[in-house]
Structure 1
Amino acid sequence: MTDVTPALAREAWRLAEPLHAMIYFVPEVRERFAALGLPPVADYFASRGAALGPVGPGPVVATFYNFHPGLVARALPAAWQVVTPATAVAVRLDAAGAALTRGLGDDVVKSPEVAEAAELARRAAESAVAYAAGRPLFAAHAELDWPDAPHLVLWHAQTLLREFRGDAHVAALLVAGLSGLQSIVLHAASGQANATFLRASRGYTREQWAAEVAALQERGLLAGEELSDAGRALREGIEADTDRLAVPAYRVLGAEGATRLGELARPLSRTLVKSGFLSAAAPPRK
């Protein structure tokens, strides 16, 4: 069995990530939580944070990392007066199943290819439990029950792999001396994300954003509004550390299995992306 490299671990994650990430944009989530009486934004913190239990804002601010504490505090712990964590987990899974079926089609979600991808992703996610130390958000999600349907197994497995990688990314940011806000300022400066969307969705004011831009300029990581050479090097180092720390989850698959997971996930993810399922204005149900 050929070893999994950091580059291959990153590729396996990247190709499958839309299968999980669509959950943050599709209307199925908003509709279900709205029907229970949970307002927008609160549904995000409640659904993703439910694995931690009925916590207040502290653990969510710490593990999600780049949200303004005040934004989280407006949602938690008040959300737990509307839904229990167990209900939030169940509602999120139900929404994921409905969205994947709508986006991929009933025949595809029941296909042998989805079943094979689910089996590979589950093996990786379950093996990652041996490396859960220092990864609190992953560890919390890893204690949730596994669903039965293959497309839901695939979604849940990719959720675990995402949080496994995400916890590692937070560790890399800490080592680099970057706060949550600074990390998204640099992300926007790279040209890979919209600054206005990041600032507003994370709950920061223009003044707070500008203050961190100035701090990063003083540190030599920004040249004006763009990354400096030092800023690019720092981001590349953070991504390299994240890739390296993600390898243990995929090692059980070997290079062949990790490659196969990416091959199976690619057309599924492409379908969702082309259909706008990862857009902030996700397509409505028809």
Structure 2
Amino acid sequence: MMTDIRLARQSWRRLEPVHAMIYFVPEAAERYAALGLKRRAGYFASRGAAFGPASPELVIATFYNFCPTLVRQALPAAWDVTTPEKVTEARLDAAGAALRRAGVHEIKELAETAALARRAAERAGEHLQGRPLFAAHAALAWPDDPLLELWHAQTLLREFRGDGHVAALLAEGVGGLDALVLHGATGTTPTAFLKASRGWPEEEWAAAEEALRERGLLDGGELTEEGRTFRQRIEDRTDELALPAYAALSDDELARLAELARIFGRSVVDAGLLTFSL
């Protein structure tokens, strides 16, 4: 039986705020700062801590779209002031505190949603090959708290999909900076935010834009029709590569997860946990 790709994408996209808020909430920055890590160092160290004392090269390779200089400013210096174990603990603690602030722990369907998401995440664990960032996080212990169980499950599903996305980008000859430029051209995320958060010099960004124009993918700062088709092909392939995880669920269970995911994702968004500043 084929897994419904539309429902699988809905489940991931709607539940994604439950994970993604960890990159924006003050609870995370406060806990990383207590370990001696400034904001960007906290980000690279916390997401990369599952690898152990990750080198900048490993993070550059697996995070994919950050300027290497930005990464090297944070790593390996972060490991001089703290340990991966402490950072991982701080990240989990921050996730729980932020989600409780949003009232996510009070949603009555929490246990049901966590159980469905965990089954998908555990099925993803049967497909480790070629998914380094996912595999590192999959080796971490599952939290006992249903709230954190849900956060960890979506973290795994996010990184599983992300590793597949990197594979799709590589197959299409799209580098990390190229991917950012194409993403910004869709208008879904402000280009100013992408530039500020990923740290690429303006001249390198401009050069990437020009190269994509020469490929016929950009017209000025907007996607051409060919560019939209090209980017959609990458997204579709990414969705396909994420399907092994959601094959753990029946069609009815996947539809239920997609339904529940909307409730949880919306609660995070409505609480303002995804607010970012430049």
Same fold (TM over 0.5): yes
User: Which of 246, 249, 260 in structure 2 is aligned with 1:250?
Assistant: 246
CA contact (8 A) 1:25 1:279 kept: yes
TM-score scaled by length of structure 1? 0.95
- Cα-to-partner distance string for 1:123-181 (whole Å, 9 max, x where unaligned): 11011111111000000000000100001000000000000000000000001101100
CA contact (8 A) 1:146 1:153 kept: yes
Q: Does 1:145 align with 2:141?
A: yes
Gaps in structure 1 of 5+ consecutive residues = none
Q: How many residues align?
A: 278
Q: Does 1:223 align with 2:222?
A: no
- Cα-to-partner distance string for 1:219-247 (whole Å, 9 max, x where unaligned): 11101111011111110000000000111
Q: Secondary structure at the match of 1:130?
A: coil
CA contact (8 A) 1:3 1:255 kept: no
Runs ≥4 in structure 1, deviation > 2 angstroms? 105-108
Instruction: State the alpha-carbon separation in 2 of the partners of residues 21 and 105 from structure 1.
Output: 14
Q: Secondary structure at the match of 1:253?
A: coil
Q: Secondary structure at the match of 2:247?
A: helix
Greater mean deviation of Cα atoms: 113-122 or 5-14: 5-14
* Structure 1 residue 192 displacement after superposition: 1.1
Gaps in structure 2 of 5+ consecutive residues = none
TM-score scaled by length of structure 2? 0.97
- Equivalent position amino acid for 2:10 in 1: E
Instruction: State the alpha-carbon separation in 2 of the partners of residues 52 and 182 from structure 1.
Output: 26
Aligned to 1:131: 127
* Structure 1 residue 120 displacement after superposition: 0.7
- Equivalent position amino acid for 1:8 in 2: L
Instruction: State the alpha-carbon separation in 1 of the partners of residues 191 and 106 from structure 2.
Output: 39
Aligned to 2:161: 165
Q: Secondary structure at the match of 2:209?
A: helix
Instruction: State the alpha-carbon separation in 2 of the partners of residues 172 and 24 from structure 1.
Output: 24
Aligned to 1:81: 80
Instruction: State the alpha-carbon separation in 2 of the partners of residues 253 and 148 from structure 1.
Output: 22
* Structure 1 residue 107 displacement after superposition: 2.9
Instruction: State the alpha-carbon separation in 1 of the partners of residues 208 and 255 from structure 2.
Output: 39
* Structure 1 residue 281 displacement after superposition: 4.3
CA RMSD of aligned residues (A): 1.3
Aligned to 1:280: 276
